[in-house]
Amino acid sequence: MRLRLVMDAIISSLQNDRVKELVRLRTRQGRQQQHRFTIDGIREIERAQQAQCTFLETYFCDARCSSSDHLLIATLTKQGAAAIEVTSSIMDKIAYGQRTLALIVVVEIPNRVELESLEVSDSEVVFVLERIEKPGNLGAIARTADAAGVAAIILADSECDVCNPNAIRSSAGAIFHLPIVHDTTQNIQKWLQGNHFNTFATMVDGNCCYSEVNLTGRTAIVLGAEAVGLTDLWNSSNSQAISVPMCGIGDSLNVSTTAAILAYESQRQRHPNTQS
């Protein structure tokens, strides 16, 4: 398949302005300044398509492209993305990490979802992640949330970058399909109370095991930062403290693992007769 290219020559120089801009997209500052980010991986790209993200450019190395890659590039071109061919050395330079890629895409950063615009039913679960720092954990939690039917992820006092390549990759593209909201802990607590959520705060010293509480109905599961857990803003006046029992020398699990346990416990309680 012959693609309609936006440039006559293949980009082969590291000094090319487009290449320099793409390298800057590895950083949060670069993404914010350009208001765009990159996606690699066919699965992740296709899930961004399904979420109706705005594709701006496709960079591809023709020598590495399969017939299905060419079909994807042609589809993106029809949707308005510029198709730009690069050499293998340039592809390796602009790719994130150590993957050998045939193509990457550049996508416009979507507008943030506002807390007040978030709609949830009377029987849905949301995750509240306070001061979470690691994009990889955010992505893993997004993947779990999507699989377990969690309605939204709310980031409390956190500027964790949803468009970070590690977040996208560890979510397997699920991060594009979930509402992800940023706000302050205080505003989130007011919203949860105003919308009559049953709120459960996960703590190492929580006085109740996660399997002993009712996680049906409108439920908020609150998880803290990887190193320090939740702040003192989460207390008995606005939430119930719960814990995951630990049998070994460790006092806690990775936050994404805890999120998975609680999400599926909620699903088990909501669908007790479902056969595995």
What would the pLDDT profile of 79-122 be if each residue is shown by its tens digit? Answer: 999 999 999 999 999 998 878 999 999 999 999 999 999 988 88
pLDDT of residue 200: 98
The helix-helix angle for 135-148 and 255-270 (nearest 10°) equals 10
Quickly state the pLDDT bin for 3 (edges 50, 70, 90). Answer: low
Question: Does 9 map to a domain?
Answer: no
Of the candidates 185, 196, 265, the residue with the CA atom closest to the CA atom of residue 223: 185
pLDDT of residue 5: 58
Tell me, what CATH number does 25's domain have? 3.30.1330.30
Tell me, what CATH number does 152's domain have? 3.40.1280.10
Count how many domains the chain has: 2
Let me know whether 148 and 64 are in one domain. no
pLDDT above 90 for 135: yes
What would the pLDDT profile of 196-242 be if each residue is shown by its tens digit? Answer: 999 999 999 888 999 999 999 999 999 998 788 999 999 999 999 99
Question: Does 67 map to a domain?
Answer: yes
pLDDT above 60 for 8: no
pLDDT of residue 91: 96
Out of 108, 124, 141, pick the residue that ends a domain.
108
Question: Does 5 map to a domain?
Answer: no
pLDDT of residue 7: 54
Let me know whether 127 and 163 are in one domain. yes
Residues 6+ apart with CB under 8 A from 52: none
- Rounded distance, CA 51 to CA 229, Å? 32
What would the pLDDT profile of 230-254 be if each residue is shown by its tens digit? Answer: 999 999 999 999 999 999 888 889 9
Averaged pLDDT, 53-73: 96
pLDDT above 80 for 4: no
Positive/negative CA dihedral, 63, 66, 69, 73: positive
Let me know whether 131 and 241 are in one domain. yes
Boundaries of domain holding 46: 17-108
